[in-house]
Amino acid sequence: MTILSRRSLLAMSLVLSLYACKKNTPPANTTDYLNEGKEITKASFTALSNKLSEQMKMGGPKQAIPFCNVEALPLTDSLANAFDVSIKRTSDKLRNPKNQATDRELEIIDAYKKIHSNGAVLKPVVERGSDNKMHFYAPITTSAKCLKCHGKTGEMMDVKTDSIIKSLYPSDMATGYGDEQVRGIWSITFNK
């Protein structure tokens, strides 16, 4: 798929309307999937962010990184079960190899990075995949909080934090980010 057609697909898929889905009713159209995907990513982000903030307050990155290593996937899995979807946070620069991106997810990440570099607003997108299921993608961008564990070593992230990360994630590539950069995506696959 060319960049132009990807941009066209993104532009066509970004039309929003009021949330119309009921919890156990399959979404009726792309806009409904878009709204439900936004609700799921918001709930997932809030749950992860709240837990991570608690850990940071209790002991900083030294406590938060091991928590993420053990608890982040089970937390998103429990939310996925509650919403009857598959929830994945992935990137082209992974920390956890269990979050490996598919080829399509890498294309989406690349498209978001190009859109962001052009100064455009990043918005979620919905599409029907080759598996005939509906997929929702939304960008994950870095903030100052993220940079304590995903920033540049010696700047926003200290050397001790980098050592903790490397001890738990020997193949980690998820550092070196600056503020407001595309870190990856939320990838949600609807089962209904």
> What pTM value is reported for the model?
0.83
Condensed to tens digits (0 to 9), the pLDDT of residues 107-140 reads: 999 999 999 999 999 999 999 999 999 999 999 9
What crossing angle do the helices spanning 103-117 and 3-13 adopt, rounded to 10°? 80
| Alpha-carbon torsion, ordered 143, 148, 149, 155, to 10 deg | 100
pLDDT per residue as tens digits for the range 52-82: 999 999 999 999 999 999 999 999 999 999 9
